[in-house]
């Protein structure tokens, strides 16, 4: 994958196969009864290219940060459950490069 990626359109996986919008790490279905655990989260911040840090929070202040490695094609997640020292979104975002990230299924409180 080369150049700038328009996250509204598509991504490519590690084999350069196009991934549609629903495979996009920034994509959320927008609710409508889809049942996605990420539906309540709104995008707050983006930083970097590889890794790309994605900062999200709910209206009640529950935060979720994502670390997307374009070179490895992996997404890892951080929230209060694997980073208990960061109670607020602002403190977590400020420490995004040093947070503990893990697989989505290992998080609690999502």
pLDDT for res 35: 60
Of 13, 12, 43, 40, give the one whose Cα is nearest residue 26: 43
* pLDDT for 85: 97
* Model pLDDT for residues 60-75, shown as the tens digit of each residue: 999 999 999 999 999 9
Instruction: Tell me the pLDDT tens digit for each residue of 6-55.
Output: 444 444 445 555 444 444 555 444 444 456 788 899 999 999 999 999 99
For residue 55, what are the CA distances in angstroms to 33, 35, 43? 23, 21, 6
Place of tokens 């991934």: 19
Average pLDDT over residues 74-98: 97
pTM: 0.69
> Which of 14 and 82 is assigned the larger pLDDT?
82
56 touches 64 (CB < 8 A): yes
d(CA 72, CA 55): 20
**Closest of 71, 74, 65 to residue 100, by C-alpha:** 65
């Amino acid at each position: 994958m080369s150049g700038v990626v328009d996250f509204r359109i598509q991504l490519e996986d590690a084999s350069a196969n196009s991934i549609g919008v629903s495979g996009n790490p920034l994509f959320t279905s927008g609710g409508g009864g889809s049942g996605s655990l990420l539906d309540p989260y709104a995008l707050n911040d983006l930083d970097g290219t590889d890794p790309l840090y994605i900062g999200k929070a709910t209206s009640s202040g529950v935060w979720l940060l994502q670390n997307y490695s374009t070179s490895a094609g992996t997404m890892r997640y951080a929230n209060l459950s694997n980073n208990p020292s960061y109670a607020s979104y602002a403190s977590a975002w400020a420490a995004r490069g040093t947070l503990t990230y893990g697989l989505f299924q290992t998080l609690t409180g999502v």
